[in-house]
């Protein structure tokens, strides 16, 4: 495969998510996970011209094995902004559909029934996730969504033709190094979505050792592949909460490699996750102090970002996203509490208006709204972000996603009642949406967020919290995967908040009654849970359980 920098139609990840959160995952299994008996539909919806498999995930793996075809699995969600870009800008393209015709293609919406059981088995860590399996159900690779259509298509073809699974490829890579690997397998490692894969079997030390070694040893005549290892390695180091100490020689080598990447259009196009979203973290890693070491790196990064912003072959959302590194770097220079330069603020405003005027439909708005509001907020233009969300949320596919965001802004402003009302509204709209395009478990996401915020911001509203808690739990317990994957994480977080809320009360009896009623409600459902996924029964029984010895 020769990666090209022709027409770029890349896929943006959430601006807000990448500025404030990181993803987590589970350990890899080499063979196909045991399929849940009677697994629900493998997709929520699909365009007629995309060959998505009609049936359950279990049936899809069985069909792949019987037909000796690889399996392509896309993990997404109706409300997820970057998923809309991937699903509408990448998947429907003829070159992608042609390659998917050679595979069993599965669209699994993470909020549909039983999806989180599968998500936990597959180790999905965020939306969107794209995984390729061989006909025997062994994972081949996870594809990065931030690639151009042609590059994505070529990488997809390489993955579908791969002769061995990821675990074997990693073991061979550690044994022989980059010069001993077939070119196609080296490219699959270079373009593996490491940030979405905690199941590779590599701990942080081994992963970083492999990435650094391959960056140093890949021949200079393969600059794009080499740059991928550098970009992933830098992102990995910069993602640590505590600064990673770097000796001068190592820092200089990394900085020189990064300058070469930023100066090369093809390398920038192949590493958009780094270029668009890691600017401040990587600059702070390589040049912790302002001055002579940092200034040239900032200038190079800003020049690369401007070139992407001016590239008319990019989508509206991608060109707007190219402002993110400039805002990040300006924030790094100014400090968290200081205003950004007026010229940059004006540029943010102008480009947000430009993007808004170019949006064609609610599908596109679901993705572009995320970038517009995120940029305004990151630039310190919070009131303008709030106004945009208030005015345009109804123009998106999943307004509850943005109503929840608006509720967070009201909370930051100290408007407790308004914030909680909006959180509740987002939950209610998600409940309505579950009967339409949204998945069955969608209300659990917004319902648990609402309840946690209600306990935090309006803790004395005991009766209302108790009544809505019962509704949230009843909605969740009506499905089989309330105690799997992300659903279980949300219920755990809710339980922690409930126990803290009860403990904070001077008179704990009223709140204690709410907590005990919730525990009884959940315990009544434990016996009927499926036993083909995680230990749902044990998790169910642990919900709000008294501490040992209490």
Q: Where are the alpha helices (DSSP H) in 393-535?
A: 399-412, 416-433, 442-457, 462-477, 485-504, 508-523
Reading the chain (550 residues) residue by residue, the pLDDT tens digits are: 433 333 333 344 444 444 433 322 332 333 333 433 444 444 444 444 678 999 999 999 999 999 999 999 999 999 999 998 788 778 888 888 888 999 999 999 999 989 999 999 998 888 999 999 999 999 999 999 888 888 899 999 999 999 899 999 999 999 999 999 999 999 999 999 998 876 777 888 899 999 999 999 999 899 999 999 999 999 999 998 888 889 999 999 999 999 999 999 999 999 999 999 999 999 999 999 999 999 999 999 999 999 999 999 888 999 999 999 999 999 999 998 899 999 999 999 999 999 999 998 998 999 999 999 999 999 999 999 999 999 999 999 999 999 999 999 999 999 999 999 999 999 999 999 987 666 788 999 999 999 999 999 999 999 999 999 999 999 999 988 999 999 999 999 999 999 999 999 999 899 999 999 999 999 999 988 877 767 899 999 999 998 775 5
Q: Each residue of 335-372: b (16+ CB within 10 Å) or e?
A: eeeeebeeebbebbeebbeebbeebeeebbbbbbbbbb
What one-character DSSP code corresponds to residue 375?
Answer: H
- Show which of 175, 201, 227 is a domain's final residue: 201
Question: What does the alpha-carbon distance between residue 135 and residue 132 come to, in Å, rounded to a whole number?
Answer: 10
Residue 461 lies in a domain: yes
- Contact assessment for residue 118 and residue 133, using Cβ atoms and an 8 Å cutoff: no
Number of domain units in the chain? 2
Residue 237 lies in a domain: no
- Show which of 186, 201, 216 is a domain's final residue: 201
Question: What does the alpha-carbon distance between residue 271 and residue 231 come to, in Å, rounded to a whole number?
Answer: 7
Question: What does the alpha-carbon distance between residue 517 and residue 251 come to, in Å, rounded to a whole number?
Answer: 57
Q: What angle do CA 37, 43, 49 make, to 5 degrees?
A: 140
With tokens 């490219």, the residue in question is 187
Residue 185 lies in a domain: yes
Q: Which of 213, 208, 215, 161 is nearest to 188 (CA)?
A: 161
User: Is the peptide bond between 3 and the residue preceding it cis, with omega within 30 degrees of 0?
Assistant: no
Residue 197 lies in a domain: yes
Task: Note the pTM of the prediction, 2 decimals.
Answer: 0.89
Structural domain harbouring 472: 415-550
Q: Where are the alpha helices (DSSP H) in 312-441?
A: 316-321, 324-334, 342-358, 362-378, 382-392, 399-412, 416-433
Residue 74 lies in a domain: yes
Residue 353 lies in a domain: no
- Show which of 201, 229, 252 is a domain's final residue: 201
441-to-112, 146, 467, 482 alpha-carbon distances in Å: 6, 27, 19, 8
CATH number reported for the structural domain that contains residue 55 in this entry: 3.40.30.10
Question: What does the alpha-carbon distance between residue 298 and residue 228 come to, in Å, rounded to a whole number?
Answer: 20
A 10 A CB-CB count for 465 gives 21
Residue 290 lies in a domain: no
Residue 392 lies in a domain: no
């Amino acid at each position: 495969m020769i990666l090209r920098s022709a027409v770029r139609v890349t896929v943006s990840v959430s601006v807000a998510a990448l500025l404030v959160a990181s993803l987590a995952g589970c350990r890899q299994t080499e063979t196909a996970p045991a399929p849940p008996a009677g697994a629900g539909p493998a997709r929520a919806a699909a365009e007629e011209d995309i060959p998505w498999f009609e049936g359950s995930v279990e049936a899809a793996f069985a069909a792949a094995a019987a037909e000796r075809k690889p399996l392509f699995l896309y993990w997404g969600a109706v409300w997820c902004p970057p998923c809309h870009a991937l699903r509408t800008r990448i998947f429907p393209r003829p070159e992608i559909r042609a390659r998917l015709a050679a595979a069993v293609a599965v669209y699994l919406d993470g909020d549909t029934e039983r999806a989180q059981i599968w998500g936990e088995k597959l180790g999905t860590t965020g939306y969107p996730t794209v995984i390729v399996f061989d006909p025997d159900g062994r994972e081949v690779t996870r594809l990065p969504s931030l690639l151009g259509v042609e590059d994505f298509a070529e990488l997809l073809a390489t993955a579908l033709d791969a002769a061995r699974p990821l675990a074997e490829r990693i073991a061979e890579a550690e044994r022989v190094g980059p010069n001993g690997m077939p070119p196609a397998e080296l490219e699959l490692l270079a373009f593996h979505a490491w940030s979405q894969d905690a199941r590779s079997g590599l701990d942080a030390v081994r992963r970083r050792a492999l990435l650094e070694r391959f960056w140093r040893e890949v021949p200079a005549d393969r600059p794009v592949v080499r740059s991928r290892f550098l970009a992933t390695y830098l992102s990995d180091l910069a993602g640590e909460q505590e600064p990673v100490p770097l000796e001068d020689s190592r820092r200089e080598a990394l900085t020189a490699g990064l300058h070469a990447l930023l100066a090369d259009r093809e390398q920038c196009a192949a590493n958009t996750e780094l270029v668009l979203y890691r600017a401040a973290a990587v600059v702070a890693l390589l040049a912790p102090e302002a001055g002579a070491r940092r200034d040239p790196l900032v200038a190079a990064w800003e020049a690369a970002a401007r070139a992407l912003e001016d590239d008319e072959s990019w989508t509206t959302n991608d060109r707007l996203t190219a402002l993110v590194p400039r805002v990040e770097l300006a924030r790094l220079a100014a400090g968290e509490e200081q205003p950004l330069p007026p010229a940059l603020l004006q540029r943010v405003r102008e480009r947000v208006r430009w993007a808004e005027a170019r949006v064609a439909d609610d599908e596109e708005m679901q993705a572009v709204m995320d970038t517009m509001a995120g940029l305004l907020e990151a630039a310190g233009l919070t009131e303008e972000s709030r106004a945009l969300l208030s005015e345009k949320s109804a123009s998106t596919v999943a307004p509850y996603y943005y109503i929840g965001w608006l509720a967070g802004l009201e909370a930051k402003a100290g408007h407790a009642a308004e914030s909680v009302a909006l959180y509740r509204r987002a939950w209610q709209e998600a409940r309505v949406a579950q009967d339409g395009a949204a998945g069955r478990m969608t209300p659990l996401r917004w319902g648990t967020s609402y309840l946690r915020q209600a306990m935090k911001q309006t803790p004395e509203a005991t009766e209302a919290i108790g009544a809505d808690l019962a509704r949230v739990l009843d909605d969740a317990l009506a499905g089989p995967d309330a105690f799997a994957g992300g659903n279980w994480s949300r219920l755990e977080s809710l339980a922690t908040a409930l126990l803290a809320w009860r403990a904070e009360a001077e008179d704990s009896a009223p709140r204690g009654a709410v907590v005990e009623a919730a525990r009884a409600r959940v315990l009544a459902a434990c016996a009927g849970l499926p036993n083909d996924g995680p230990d749902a029964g044990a998790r169910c029984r642990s919900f709000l359980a008294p501490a040992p010895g209490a």
